Amino acid sequence: MRRLAVLLAVLLAGALALSACTSDDKKEPAADKTSSAPPTPVVAAPPPPPPDKDACYRLSYDEAVAPTSDDRAVPCKKSHTSQTFAVGKLDLLDNGHLLRVDADAVQKQVAQQCPDKLGAYVGATEEQLRLSLLRPVWFTPTVEQSDAGAEWYRCDVIAVTGDKQVAKIDRDLSGALKQPAGRAEFAMCGTAQPGTAAFKRVLCREAHTWKAISVIDLADKAGKHGRWPGEKVVQAAGQDACQAAARAIASDALDYKWGYEWPTKDQWQAGQDYGRCWSPDPA
């Protein structure tokens, strides 16, 4: 990574040539008497400090999905939209070469680290997290901050709801999904049956008609290489399991509806190797 060079200011004193005469009026060669002050080094400013873990921010959706953030922290007891759940150090060296902070290799580090840390922070199993609308986002220093020595990354948790909106939160999200009340608060619901035009994912505290009730792990359908198994395979994989899950919670085992949402190829390649089961929830 290219770093900004520290400029040195050098003060040079002027040279004064003096002449003298001998007794026979012959001039002696002029003597150069040059003096110079030592260079004054410029002390580089310290790099910007890393963010604080557990800090809260008021971010819009666009700000939350941006690669960098310059928003100031706000008290977590007041309304906010994101909370920092992890701060780490970037590895900016690749075979002895310094990488730019916005290089793909650097950004991939953070894209792996942050999702892996979220479950433990909010106190959720993998399935509980997938049935919630809590999601990780991450930030790195700007190129200018990195050039000044910043090497941190920051992971925030947000609640995504509706059409690219972040929900307002007025509580600490550490351990938010440990208890049933917290899992209900951030549970994933839908405005219509999954797969229909009117369907949007929303927090269950908002108006909704369907609710995500269980997760179908599809990783074994991809074989040892984890490749996309095809839409027919993932579509068929959850039919019986989702029907059984909906029947188990229905008030009438002979009269109930259910839905199954499977990943697309793009979602699979982005890491979503699971589907979700849905059931009507008019509450």
Question: Residue 36 — pLDDT band, cuts 50, 70, 90?
Answer: low
Using CA atoms, how far apart are residues 273 and 96, in angstroms rounded to an integer? Answer: 35
Mode of pairing for the β-strands spanning 97-98 and 16-18: unpaired
Per-residue pLDDT, 8: 27
Query: Is the predicted pLDDT of residue 259 greater than 60, yes or no?
Result: yes
Chain position carrying tokens 């188990």: 248
Return all residues near 242 (Cβ < 8 A) that are at least 6 apart: 214, 216, 258, 259, 260, 275, 277, 278
Per-residue pLDDT, 223: 83
Mean of pLDDT values over 49-75: 96
End-to-end CA distance of the chain: 55
Per-residue pLDDT, 44: 63
Output the six-digit token pair for 6.
């520290």
Return all residues near 73 (Cβ < 8 A) that are at least 6 apart: 51, 52, 55, 56, 57
Instruction: Identify whether the C-beta of residue 88 lies closer than 8 Å to the C-beta of residue 120.
Output: no
Using CA atoms, how far apart are residues 17 and 7, in angstroms rounded to an integer? Answer: 31
* Average pLDDT over the chain, rounded to an integer: 86
Output the six-digit token pair for 170.
């007025």
For the ranges 23-32, 51-60, 121-130, the lowest mean pLDDT is seen at 23-32
For the ranges 7-21, 25-39, 154-168, the lowest mean pLDDT is seen at 7-21
Per-residue pLDDT, 95: 85
Per-residue pLDDT, 253: 87
- Candidates 282, 122, 281, 130; CA nearest to 214 is 130
Per-residue pLDDT, 267: 94
pTM, full prediction? 0.80
